[in-house]
Chains A and B, each alone.
Chain A
Amino acid sequence: MSVAPQVDVTPRRYHLKKQITAPRSEKNLRQDRFSQNPVPSRISSQKVEKLSARAQQPPIWLRTLLLLHYSSSVLTACLIAAILTVYALTVYAPQRWSREYKKLMNLQRDERHLTAANESLKNQLAQQAERSDTGLVNSNPTNAIFLPPAPVPAPVTPLVSSTNPTTAESKLPVATVPLAY
């Protein structure tokens, strides 16, 4: 769109043909006059009036259409941005998923390897232990020590003696079992 102010102000362009008769050099002059104070025109057939600010505004239907146009353009821009983001995700997410899936398969395989190896080792150790030259014997009751569960100690009670008031020690609480820390 050229910078020079143009006569076209509506979506439809109007090209003035009839100004062929007017001198070409005055074309610009004439257009300047649109924005300035009205100057009597050289072409008598024309009459240029100042545009009132109010009248300069486009009609309501045009305004709403323009507003709609503007808002839908903004909406379209946002949607385009969103589309691009989602598209990027649709490319990135499956890649990530495939990577993680491969990792999962590998981990599962490794787990199986480890289990098999661990158990084979256990079996080998047990077989080696069974052989008599290793000096290991089967556990049997003669080797085992069974401990009876210890009785829970009775709570410590202070010695209270009412029969012998003369002894001073009996007034103080005396522990019957040593307290161990």
Chain B
Amino acid sequence: MTDSNPAPLFSRPKRRPRKNLTKNKNSNLHNSPWRKTVKTNVKPSGLPQVRLLLVWGVLLAGVLGLGWRVYQLQIIQAPKLQEKARQQQMVDLRPYIPRRTIVDSQNNVLATDRLVYSLYVHPKLFKTPKEEIAQKLAPILDQRTPQKLIEKFNQRESGIRIASALTEEVANKITNLSLDGLELIQHYSRFYPQQKIAADAIGYVDQDRRGQAGVEYSQRQLLEYDLLTFRIRRAGNGAIMPASVPEGLLDFDDLQLRLTLDLRLQRAARVALKQKMRYYNAKRGTVIVMDVKDGSLLALVCEPTYNPNQYFKYNIELFKNWAVTDLYEPGSTFKPINVAIALEAGVIKPHNFFYDSGKIKVDGWNIYNHDYHSRGGRGPMSIAKILQYSSNVGMIQIVRRMNKGDYYSSLKKLGLGESMGVDLPGDAPGYLKSEAEFTVRSIEAATASFGQGFSLTPLKLLQLHGAIANGGTLVTPHVVQGLADLQGHFHWQPSFPTKKVFSESTARAVLEMMETVVTKGSGKPARIEGYRIAGKTGTAQKASPWGGYLPNAKITSFVAILPVESPRYAVVAVIDEPKGSNTFGSTVAAPIVKSVMETLISVKGIPPSK
């Protein structure tokens, strides 16, 4: 029979004879039925007992010592040690969170981030002489002669920044030189691939990645992610310990800021504008295309403009978008608005006739038609004809029928003295004289009837014509369509207020009168075969800062609405100070609008009306 009792798991090696430690001979163990041998009393010797106790005592002392050390480390020195550990292990991680990309309505990228390198030199680490290094670097960094580089090297012993925005190819070439003392630091910088085309709308960011103009400035809350700093633990070899990574490290979404601009239209508008401006040697110009249904701007072009990739090379005046910030006196382009105001007030009817005498005297001032000296008065004219020939006298007759105070409050209702709420920076409210000044004499209302004596921005004029086009609602022009993800779904869209200012019938009547301007009147250069277009020309004298008007400075403009049977788009072109003799809205601005409309028709696929 095998051993029926289980062998003990832990057995001590036999070092010396074991003692019988039980003194009690009557214990159960000895008297159990399976143990029948009787022990004799063996007296244990004194020395081994003490040694056992000694061992036990030593071990106990060790345990106590450890316990005390644990207490000392965990409780007494804990804060200090924790601090030390934190310093060694934790690291502040600032993951690169890019600025949001800006795209146009067709998903072309207008602004994005790009990796660029800065080159720093530390002359104290140079192994080869400075001249040699300068010789090798100069051809790679073009625009630097070796002499200039050597001068720079002599400035300091370390940390001289030689170049700041090097592309990756250049950086690779520098790395391949394998020279000591050159350091390339990479960072992200904003890149505008379309360069000058959409600069007026987008704006630029400065060296600290802060938006300074355009959408980059006005929508900076949307474009910037929060600057997050994470405390992360690093292992000994520098790798991040993911257990300590808090939520949200990789959490940034890839939403893009989508603008309403259409790059094709923007390009076409810019080309047409630049061509005419060069021909007439104009000071500046602007073309704006707006969708009258909701106010989204399809094209916003200002000339001259700048390249936002190199904003530092340009005059600071170019950074503002003068279509939004600068006021001008609209001139004859405001006449349809006045007609709409008069129709809305009920003082005239669309079929009324007015007598055009060619010149008229108001409050001691003589006011002439622009072609009075060649053509004289034209006699009784319908309102459409007044617009076609752009007769100032006819407009005065129309506006005269209204109460001056009523006329003023209608102008105010259109928001002439307020800003529009555009989502571009520098939105300027128009200028309108005070009510007292306006109503005290008739001359103010008379000049306002043909668009002089008050001022507004080109965008405001477009907004007012948009109200005529869409049946009487003032919509807010805007550039931002919303935040969209890569599939095109919008996660956020802005909402803009609208205001009803005319009735549908009024707007329709004025639109049809404006159509005759293009078919029969001064807007003939803007005709397009097969399409019904409504428009109005404007040639205004520029106000002089010392009062009165400058004799030879004109500002020409043209507004068009397309197509008339169901109006959708409004286009305005304003050219400031074209030089030459034959400079009118019809000759300078209308052809620009015509070519923009042709591109608009092709891009949007507007079918012909006839």
Say which residue of A10, A18, A120 sits within 8 Å of B193 (CB atoms): A120
Q: Tell me, rounded to whole Å, the shortest Cβ–Cβ distance linking A77 to chain B.
A: 13
Q: Tell me, rounded to whole Å, the shortest Cβ–Cβ distance linking A72 to chain B.
A: 11
The answer to whether A140 and B599 have CB atoms under 8 Å apart is yes
Q: A49-B36, A144-B602 are in contact. Are A122 and B193 (CB under 8 A)?
A: yes
Nearest A residue to B244 via CB reads A94
Interface presence of B112 (CB below 8 A): yes
For window 2-19 of A, CB contacts with B under 8 Å fall at 5, 8-11, 13-18
The answer to whether A46 and B37 have CB atoms under 8 Å apart is yes
Q: Give a binary string over B267-291; 1 marks a CB under 8 Å from any A CB, 0 the rest.
A: 1100100000000000000000000
The answer to whether B250 and A119 have CB atoms under 8 Å apart is no
Interface presence of B143 (CB below 8 A): no
Chain A: interface residue count, which band? 35 or more
Known contacts A94-B240, A139-B602; can you find 9 more A-B pairs with CB under 8 A? A14-B20, A18-B38, A18-B40, A58-B5, A113-B168, A116-B193, A140-B598, A141-B529, A143-B602
Interface presence of A73 (CB below 8 A): yes
Q: A13-B18, A122-B108, A130-B271 are in contact. Are A98 and B528 (CB under 8 A)?
A: no
Nearest A residue to B270 via CB reads A130
Nearest B residue to A124 via CB reads B193
Nearest A residue to B601 via CB reads A141
Which residues of A lie under 8 Å from residue B98 when comparing CB positions? 112
The answer to whether A116 and B191 have CB atoms under 8 Å apart is yes
Q: Tell me, rounded to whole Å, the shortest Cβ–Cβ distance linking A33 to chain B.
A: 12
In the complex, A95→B241 CA distance in Å? Answer: 9
In the complex, A123→B266 CA distance in Å? Answer: 13
Q: Give a binary string over B30-65; 1 marks a CB under 8 Å from any A CB, 0 the rest.
A: 000110111110100000000000000000000000
SS of A interface (majority): helix
The answer to whether B531 and A94 have CB atoms under 8 Å apart is no
Interface presence of B243 (CB below 8 A): yes
Which residues of A lie under 8 Å from residue B19 when comparing CB positions? 15
Nearest B residue to A66 via CB reads B6
Interface presence of B115 (CB below 8 A): yes
Interface presence of A154 (CB below 8 A): no
Nearest A residue to B17 via CB reads A15
Which residues of B lie under 8 Å from residue A10 when comparing CB positions? 5, 29
Interface presence of B298 (CB below 8 A): no
Chain A residues in contact with chain B, CB under 8 A? Answer: 1, 5, 8-11, 13-18, 35, 46-49, 51, 55-56, 58, 66, 69, 73, 93-95, 97-98, 101, 104, 109, 112-113, 115-116, 118-120, 122-123, 126, 130, 138-144, 146
With most chain B CB atoms within 10 A of its CB, the pick from A48, A115, A118 is: A115
Nearest A residue to B167 via CB reads A116
The answer to whether B37 and A141 have CB atoms under 8 Å apart is no
In the complex, A104→B252 CA distance in Å? Answer: 13
The answer to whether B268 and A138 have CB atoms under 8 Å apart is yes
The answer to whether A15 and B9 have CB atoms under 8 Å apart is no
Interface presence of B195 (CB below 8 A): yes
Nearest A residue to B5 via CB reads A9
Q: Tell me, rounded to whole Å, the shortest Cβ–Cβ distance linking A65 to chain B.
A: 11
Nearest A residue to B168 via CB reads A113
Which 3 pairs show the lowest CB-CB distances between chains A and B?
A: A119-B193, A140-B598, A139-B602
SS of B interface (majority): loop
Which residues of A lie under 8 Å from residue B197 when comparing CB positions? 123
Which residues of A lie under 8 Å from residue B595 when comparing CB positions? 138, 140
Q: Tell me, rounded to whole Å, the shortest Cβ–Cβ distance linking B305 to chain A.
A: 15
The answer to whether A56 and B112 have CB atoms under 8 Å apart is no
In the complex, A48→B242 CA distance in Å? Answer: 70
Say which residue of B9, B11, B34 sits within 8 Å of A69 (CB atoms): B9
Say which residue of A8, A17, A48 sits within 8 Å of B42 (CB atoms): A17
Q: Name 12 A/B residue pairs within 8 A (Cβ), A-sorted.
A: A1-B11, A14-B20, A18-B37, A18-B39, A94-B235, A112-B113, A115-B109, A118-B109, A139-B598, A139-B602, A140-B602, A146-B607
Chain B residues in contact with chain A, CB under 8 A? Answer: 1, 3-9, 11, 17-20, 29, 33-34, 36-40, 42, 98, 101, 108-109, 112-115, 168, 188, 191, 193-195, 197, 235, 239-243, 250, 267-268, 271, 528-531, 595, 598-599, 601-603, 605, 607-608
In the complex, A58→B5 CA distance in Å? Answer: 8
In the complex, A112→B96 CA distance in Å? Answer: 13
In the complex, A8→B35 CA distance in Å? Answer: 11
Nearest A residue to B113 via CB reads A112
The answer to whether B36 and A47 have CB atoms under 8 Å apart is yes
The answer to whether A141 and B608 have CB atoms under 8 Å apart is yes
Which residues of B lie under 8 Å from residue A46 when comparing CB positions? 36-37
In the complex, A146→B602 CA distance in Å? Answer: 10
In the complex, A25→B29 CA distance in Å? Answer: 27
Q: A15-B18, A138-B599 are in contact. Are A94 and B241 (CB under 8 A)?
A: yes
Q: Tell me, rounded to whole Å, the shortest Cβ–Cβ distance linking A86 to chain B.
A: 13
The answer to whether B195 and A16 have CB atoms under 8 Å apart is no
Which residues of A lie under 8 Å from residue B605 when comparing CB positions? 144
Which residues of A lie under 8 Å from residue B34 when comparing CB positions? 51, 55-56
Q: A112-B98, A123-B193, A138-B595 are in contact. Are A104 and B36 (CB under 8 A)?
A: no
Nearest A residue to B241 via CB reads A94
Which residues of A lie under 8 Å from residue B235 when comparing CB positions? 94
In the complex, A1→B113 CA distance in Å? Answer: 74
The answer to whether A55 and B33 have CB atoms under 8 Å apart is yes
In the complex, A87→B86 CA distance in Å? Answer: 23
In the complex, A47→B302 CA distance in Å? Answer: 123
The answer to whether B243 and A94 have CB atoms under 8 Å apart is yes
Which residues of B lie under 8 Å from residue A8 when comparing CB positions? 8
The answer to whether A113 and B40 have CB atoms under 8 Å apart is no
Q: Tell me, rounded to whole Å, the shortest Cβ–Cβ distance linking A68 to chain B.
A: 13
Nearest B residue to A35 via CB reads B1
With most chain A CB atoms within 10 A of its CB, the pick from B5, B240, B599 is: B5
In the complex, A107→B447 CA distance in Å? Answer: 64
Q: A18-B39, A51-B34 are in contact. Are A126 and B267 (CB under 8 A)?
A: yes
In the complex, A67→B239 CA distance in Å? Answer: 47
Which residues of A lie under 8 Å from residue B195 when comparing CB positions? 123
Q: Tell me, rounded to whole Å, the shortest Cβ–Cβ distance linking B428 to chain A.
A: 31
In the complex, A101→B96 CA distance in Å? Answer: 13
Q: A141-B530, A146-B608 are in contact. Are A116 and B112 (CB under 8 A)?
A: yes
Which residues of A lie under 8 Å from residue B7 when comparing CB positions? 1
Q: Tell me, rounded to whole Å, the shortest Cβ–Cβ distance linking A101 to chain B.
A: 7
The answer to whether B601 and A16 have CB atoms under 8 Å apart is no
Which residues of A lie under 8 Å from residue B42 when comparing CB positions? 17-18
Which residues of A lie under 8 Å from residue B250 when comparing CB positions? 104
